[in-house]
Structure 1
Amino acid sequence: MLKTRLDLDRIRTARRVIDPMFLDTPLFRCDALGRPLGCAVSIKLETANPVRSFKARGTELVASRLSDQGRAAAVCASAGNLGQALGWSGSRRGLDVTVVASRQAPAAKLDRIRALGAELELVDGDFEMARERAASIARQRGIRLVEDSRDIETCEGAATIGLELARQASSFDAVLIALGGGAMATGVGHVLKALAPGVEVICVQPHGAPAMTRSWHQRRVIATDSADTIADGVAGRYPIPAVLDDLLKVADDAVLVQEASIIAGMRMLLEHAGLVVEPSAALGVAAILEDPDRFADRHVVTIICGSNVDLNNYHQWVRP
């Protein structure tokens, strides 16, 4: 039995709590993308939902449990996607949701958080400053602090992606997962190692935000002084020890990619798959671009984890 904080039975049960609109997302082979990459590529599309990312799989669990406990409010720090997801899940269960974000976060994400009914507080500095402020609000108001990756619900909600992948695991041999705080990587990795151990679990992070990848390779928490990447959704600086412990058990590799490769990946997903994605969602394609020999003639799944992107920035990035 795989020893992590996650539990396969709880993950299976989670599917009954999560709104079905976030489940059974498309998984399809995209030959138009695979041909220029030199391998077979299948896309797991986690963006065709009201919050445009996989995050609601976890916030549905969080909000459901808070509602069952009679709790009325929650707060989180967010680079953008978690805040949208918690706002959506909370509003449907009568929860007052506060989201703390950096002023540097993409305006499109901040506008969506407001539109989904959450109270938004902005702080100077990066995501780690937002996390400190969210913890302070939780203490002051006596409300639930929702911490992505630290809270097991966020990991086990994301792990339901793994259940869906495992059904078709005989058709592919590797999955590429964007690595930030680690909820998706540990969740999907846990399920695949339990149900499809032959599938290689490869985590991908930008060179400009390498904290979790460095920690995985050195098998201890390595914090960084800064994060400098367009992939804002994975730009944390302080890995959570318990999450790293889980990641060490379920990931086969963790790699870093350059910003130019992320942009090239975004462009390829638009040109060959018709997908507008945020930078974090292009990390898997970037990994193939940087190490084509590793993936040559293999069948790889890449998880398209989010499409909340500032259009002005996006047009600048993908313009040839």
Structure 2
Amino acid sequence: MNAQPVTIPSLNDIASAARRIRNVVRRTPVIQVAAGELDVPIPVNLKLEFLQHTGSFKVRGASNALALLRAAERGAPTAGVCCASGGNHGAAVAWAAREAGLPATVFVPDFSPRTKTDVIESLGARLRRVEGFYADALAASQDHARHEGAFHIDAYDDPQTVAGQGTLGLELAKQVPEGQPVLVGCGGGGLYAGVALALDGRNRVTAAEPSSAPSLTAALEAGEPVDVEVGGIALDSLGARRAGRIATAVGLSLGMKTLTVADEDIAAARALLWQRLRIVAEPGGATALAALLAHPEHFPDGATVVVSGANTAPSSSIGC
């Protein structure tokens, strides 16, 4: 076990984050989908978070973390900010840094798709590809921060980032019925932890993971984060080899059971979103819906699903 204590953001931390970034992020809509329209006999609310800046929820955490870092340091180093990312967090950090007038360096695994890395570069960040997986990119980013003096903004296991992601949960509290289950896609677990903490028991939150990258599932079974083999079609967004300590602690405290889905389920959910609603979602963004479609028995009265990202080639969703 890691002897260092885990700092979990409070509901007040999340409320403060919401005030801090309210003029920065978009309040994304929720649409109601009638029973049967998505091939399940229950009504579904879809939180359209892919309409957020840079196409994913990650701007929330990146903006909050950068604002707090700048306040703590009373400015910013000339080296700017850095991060590791499969793509979406990197775009979010690049966007937040550009808004703040700071340089950004983003380290990505060498398999990160051009649809995501092109966005990062278009926002003015320096892109560095690293051989291996997210963990290897993370080590490179942390090394860059140590040697260059840049701010490192963690993708999912920092209380400032998690508090920012939790602002999505505060929005949901005003948009969906109390007691309705909420599903979110999960890689390292920052979105899951933030939303669960923000809803604070008002709604049960379930993390959905690809069966090819079950990092939080393994962590909850082991009682602590452990390394897992990762792969599959959502690797670039939900491919953390080890779940975050914050998400693990939150999941254990709430007794949360994850739902895992096969790549085929994720692909089917993406296709259904396009066919029925003309929504283009990346694999990670559609994983929560895939879990609902694969396990409707867990949600007999309906559910809210966060469609968390759309950084993908549209043709991959519609089969062109």
User: Structure 2 length normalisation: TM-score?
Assistant: 0.91
Q: How many residues align?
A: 310
Residue 86 of structure 1 deviates from its aligned partner by 0.6
SS across alignment from 1:262: helix
* Residue identity matched to 1:178: G
Q: RMSD of the TM alignment (CA)? A: 2.0
SS across alignment from 2:258: strand
* Residue identity matched to 1:278: E
Distance in 2 of aligned mates of 1:22 and 1:37: 32
2:286 equivalent in structure 1: 282
1:20 equivalent in structure 2: 23
**2:82 is aligned with 1:70:** no
1:140 equivalent in structure 2: 147
Distance in 1 of aligned mates of 2:7 and 2:148: 32
SS across alignment from 1:177: strand
- Alignment match of 1:212 (pick from 206, 213, 216): 216
2:207 equivalent in structure 1: 203
CA contact (8 A) 1:201 1:253 kept: no
Change (3 A) 1:251 1:190: farther
Residue 32 of structure 1 deviates from its aligned partner by 7.1
Unmatched 5+ stretches in structure 1? none
1:265 equivalent in structure 2: 269
Distance in 2 of aligned mates of 1:189 and 1:242: 11
1:90-239 matches, within 5 Å, as 90-170=97-177, 173-194=180-201, 196=202, 199-224=203-228, 226-231=229-234, 232-239=236-243
Residue 121 of structure 1 deviates from its aligned partner by 0.5
Distance in 1 of aligned mates of 2:30 and 2:269: 18
Unmatched 5+ stretches in structure 2? 1-5
2:3 equivalent in structure 1: none
Change (3 A) 1:236 1:33: farther
Is the deviation greater in 209-218 or in 24-33? Answer: 24-33
Q: Percent identity?
A: 29
Is the deviation greater in 64-73 or in 118-127? Answer: 64-73
Change (3 A) 1:131 1:146: same
Distance in 2 of aligned mates of 1:96 and 1:53: 21
SS across alignment from 2:55: coil
CA contact (8 A) 2:273 2:280 kept: yes
* Residue identity matched to 1:8: L
* Residue identity matched to 2:220: W
CA offset digits 1:99-120 (Å, max 9, x no partner): 0001201111000000011111
1:47 equivalent in structure 2: 50
User: Structure 1 length normalisation: TM-score?
Assistant: 0.91
Change (3 A) 1:251 1:55: farther
Change (3 A) 1:251 1:265: farther
* Residue identity matched to 2:54: V
